[in-house]
Amino acid sequence: TELHGNGSHRLVRAPRGTDRSCKGWGQEAALRMLMNNLDPEVAERPEELVVYGGTGKAARSWPAFDAIVRELRRLENDETLLIQSGKPVGVFRTHERAPRVLLANSVLVPKWATWEHFRELERKGLTMYGQMTAGSWIYIGTQGILQGTYETFAEAARRHNGGTLRGTLTLTAGLGGMGGAQPLAVTMNDGVVIAVEADRARIERRIQTRYCDALAESLDEALALAGEAAAAGRPLAVGLLGNAAEIYPELARRGAKPDFVTDQTSAHDPLNGYIPAGFAPDEAAALRANDPDRYVRLAKAGMAAQVRAMLDFRKAGSVVFDYGNNIRQAAFDEGVTDAFDIPGFVPAYIRPLFCEGKGPFRWAALSGDPDDIRKTDELVVSLFPENGRLRRWIEMARERVAFQGLPARICWLGYGERERFGLALNDLVKRGELRAPVVIGRDHLDCGSVASPNRETEAMKDGSDAVGDWAILNALVNASAGASWVSVHHGGGVGMGYSLHAGMVVVADGTDDAADRLRRVLTTDPGMGIIRHADAGYDEAIESAGEHGVRIPMRD
Ligand code: NAD
């Protein structure tokens, strides 16, 4: 580990290799993944401990970060460290098969669950925004969302354009930690995309990491580049320097009709995530500091203008969908009463996958050796030879994804597949074919781990969108099953008051104990997706339960 200087100018990077500074691989993995979240290659603003998604942080403060590192190094193999919104608050003797770390981030009592109250608490140093994988230490850079974004655009292409985006134009905005996956996801589907981004540095970062191809300084330049590529059937990703609250309405005024329209600015957080029309990023920062109330008003007005334009595109015949940042809600609150005519991406494209326990499964090589991931790529393809989509994804990822921080891979796997692959990974470690253990985790945006009525649980068949019990049960059962660390969060993706969600990570260190944990956790976790969707009445989930022998008491 290199820690230079102090306060805001320090550099954090996860240790590599097999030498541990902790007493077990569970603790060591947590330590490395916490540090990896703050690696400058990985985090959007590491000096402020911000990993991605507006102000999604890995630890509450630098002293809290130091204390977490210290405690993880001291932690025995039968102890559990408790983290309360990014700060270590206790260590208890539990037992060897219990999680080594339990985390609760940004959770507020429902009546108080607003950004206003959250910010008051944050100012007093009492809480932190954990987003999804920032505060739960399993963010792996933009790749973490890439396959989900790729699958979403692939599904949109299948439904609306004969299975390809070739020759089509997609309009989107936001090239942040997650939104930055959009340009590559579109070009991987052979399409052309204009992604509006207000911050030049973000566009340049995506170009550097090969997620985006070109930067355009003006709308006309972007349209010319995009038009030419689309006409030639050539994939192209253009980052357009501009503000979505201005560009979308301008395009609508011109009567443009992009084939697909969405948005991934950090609209879930009107103070920190969305730049009002007419402001450069540094001017926005000044306004945010000097007059936060005015900032929020202007940001919301901008979102309303952007959503109105999205509704115009929809009327003109574009395929428009919300991409999970709660922008419809902000516009609705501003009086755009038809904002929810725009469908959310989960009910539109993702839910059938959730019904089979499928979701964004990911793993990272603690060795730091890209060759370890190469071997795991070969393993996953060989385990599921019948899965052509998976093979295509892995081939593309190997060719086009630049690793950020510890080498990692993501691929959507379902119930049964996750357990099989997890055990096979553990075997590779056991046989010494990988240079060090592997951590296995997932996004909180998964089949059975989240309640989020404007996103993952939008328009559930039985109306159970806002039932939060499932996310809590997910965390409880994964802790009982022996995950290495388990987290419960509030407000990820869509902001305060709008979601509850849980995460888990389990370490494959090649031991028999790890095999037991993997077998249990990689069954309970996707199993929650099946029972949650079966309970809501989805036939695909009920069939999955039958096929896999998942016991659902009142359906037996
Ligand atoms: P981020 O904060 O890292 O990036 C947001 C980007 O939007 C920044 O680069 C910012 O400069 C830009 N931006 C803000 N206002 C703008 C405007 N008016 N015009 C143009 N650009 C503007 O966030 P992120 O990690 O990329 O996440 C983006 C959003 O997507 C969040 O709301 C997050 O919760 C949500 N999200 C969705 C999914 C999904 O699968 N759909 C997954 C993760 C996150």
pLDDT for residue 173 is more than 60 = yes
* Res 8: pLDDT: 53
Q: Is the CB of 113 under 6 A from ligand 1?
A: no
In the annotated binding site for NAD(+), the residues are 53-54, 131, 177-179, 197, 202, 243-244, 264-268, 274-275, 323, 493
Q: Is the CB of 394 under 6 A from ligand 1?
A: no
Element (H, E) at 513: helix 512-535
Tokens of 316: 């003109």
Tell which residue, 466, 434, 430, has the closest CA to residue 450.
Answer: 466
pLDDT for residue 438 is more than 60 = yes
Q: Which residues pair with 508 in a beta bridge?
A: 438
Tell the residue nearest (CA) to atom 2 of ligand 1: 54
CATH assignment of 143-343?
3.40.50.10730
pLDDT digits (tens, 9 = 90+) for 449-458: 999 999 999 9
Element (H, E) at 172: strand 169-173
- 500-508 vs 485-490, strand pairing mode: antiparallel
Q: Is the CB of 177 under 6 A from ligand 1?
A: yes
Give the pLDDT band (50/70/90) at residue 5. very low
* Res 1: pLDDT: 40
Element (H, E) at 115: helix 115-123
- pTM value? 0.92
pLDDT for residue 7 is more than 60 = no
Instruction: Work out the burial of residue 535: count CB atoms within 10 Å of its CB; fewer than 13 is exposed, 13-18 middle, 19 or more buried.
Output: buried
* Res 429: pLDDT: 98
Give the pLDDT band (50/70/90) at residue 151. confident
Helix/strand/coil (H, E, C) string of 187-235?
HHCCCEEEEEECCHHHHHHHHHCCCCCEEECCHHHHHHHHHHHHHHCCC
Pocket test for ligand 1, best of 52, 265, 412, 447 (most atoms within 8 A of CB): 265
List, by residue number, the catalytic residues.
Answer: 411
Question: How do the domains of the chain map onto residue ranges?
Answer: 7-123, 143-343
ipTM of the complex: 0.98
Tell the residue number behind the tokens 């052509």, with chain if given: 388
Tokens of 481: 């099953």
Cβ distance 494 to 329 under 8 Å? yes
Q: Rounded distance, CA 15 to CA 199, Å?
A: 31
Q: How far is the CA of 6 from the centre of ligand 1 (A)?
A: 29
Q: Is the CB of 191 under 6 A from ligand 1?
A: no
Tell the residue number behind the tokens 């805001």, with chain if given: 8
Work out the average pLDDT over 520-531.
98
* Res 9: pLDDT: 61
pLDDT digits (tens, 9 = 90+) for 375-431: 999 999 999 999 887 888 899 899 988 899 999 999 999 999 999 999 999 999 999
Work out the average pLDDT over 5-30.
88
Q: Can you tell me which atom of ligand 1 is nearest the CA of 306? A: 18
